[in-house]
Structure 1
């Protein structure tokens, strides 16, 4: 005779449990009724979707991500092949949207893994200027922005299809552009341990190979 154990009494394996200090959540970067950037806790309604799409790329972003960048204390690691792509139809770029957050963040270890898209050279130059400004008096920050470019077809390293960000010890997973700047319906999840999910190991593996290959 078999005994059925209620699902509620089955212990979840320790390795599968989310760490107690992280709470995974899902949100949709959008616009509120005043056309200000907002993170929805649900799919956008039809009117919200149309308003966001009409605004265009880089006209809205994730407020939660902007705040997380500004409050970061250790690191900001981003993987997005289209992160620094400049689209002639867009009114801004990734650097222009997030310049203020990058200029004020406490994180000193900022690394970007990107693809060689149109406009990325200009944004890299702007990031270098920001880095130099923070290192000069009166701030004299020990602030570094490092960038590795994956050249498709010329490197055995392949960028992931998805986009990711590691802010301090938290993993963010993006349905579209890092930062939630894309104008189509997309969502992100956050609240995952970057160490326990293997995100840190994955990022550093890509980073080491790209850095060694560029020497």
Structure 2
């Protein structure tokens, strides 16, 4: 899938104007298929991407608010983890928005079988500086991104999906990276 302005396409761009339009966009539209998969996740949403919260242009507040929209109050998934790196532009107050959303989900759905946990770990480059590409695991499906998870990047980039996260070892790999990045 290519992150076009319509929210994604299975074809690479065919015209230069399409490429230029996205490149000039101050807020490129992410992949609609990824957004829908996050919104409809029933077990887990795990992201490994050092730039997931940090837009190329504009304020990180806007990116964080968009991600929080995906993690809506009716979300069924209970294990949300974002492994990223720290950015000076993203302060603790912005990260607290994820904890507020976690509380909102758990209060709205008081009878959930399992409490929702949203964790943001900004120690990726400190604890596990071995990852180049960006990945997401939604339920048991592995997604691979050539640029920012979700298709936020303005340049031509692609995403692929459909691998079993269990069979591919992606779940164990994520757990290893997460454990190495825990604060001391």
Q: TM-score range by the shorter chain?
A: 0.7 to 0.9
Q: Which runs of 5+ in 2 are unaligned?
A: none
Structure 2 match to 1:197: 168
4+ runs deviating over 3 angstroms: 86-93
Which residue is equivalent to 2:122?
149
Structure 1 residue 159 displacement after superposition: 4.6
Q: Distance in 2 between matches of 1:158 and 1:91?
A: 23
Q: How does 1:116-155 map to 2 (within 5 A)?
A: 116-121=86-91, 122-136=93-107, 138-140=108-110, 142-150=115-123, 152=125, 154-155=126-127
SS in structure 1 of the partner of residue 147 of structure 2: coil
Whether the 8 Å CA contact 2:82–2:121 is kept in 1: the answer is yes
Q: TM-score, normalised by structure 2?
A: 0.87
Find the partner of 2:3 among 22, 29, 41. 29
Residues 52-102 of structure 1: per-residue CA shift (max 9 Å, x gap): 11212x431100001000111000000001112255535863322222220
* Normalised TM-score (structure 1): 0.75
Gaps of 5+ in 1: 1-26, 32-36
Would the aligned equivalents of 2:60 and 2:90 in 1 still touch at CA under 8 Å?
A: no
1:185 equivalenced with 2:159 (yes/no): no
SS at match of 2:3: strand
Provide the residue aligned with 1:79 in structure 2.
Answer: 48
Native 8 Å contact 1:86 1:119 kept in 2: no
Is the 8 Å Cα contact of residues 83 and 124 (structure 2) preserved in structure 1?
A: no
Query: What is the rounded CA distance, in whole Å, between the counterparts of 1:209 and 1:127 in structure 2?
Result: 22
Backbone CA RMSD of aligned residues:
2.0
Task: Tell me, yes or no, if the aligned pair for 1:85 and 1:93 is still in contact at 8 Å.
Answer: no
- The answer (yes or no) to whether the contact 2:135–2:143 under 8 Å persists in 1 is yes
Task: Give matches, 1:55-70, under 5 Å.
Answer: 55-56=25-26, 58-70=27-39
> Larger C-alpha radius of gyration, 1 or 2?
1
Per-residue Cα deviation, 1:163-204 (whole angstroms, up to 9, x for no partner): 000000100000111110111111100111111211111100
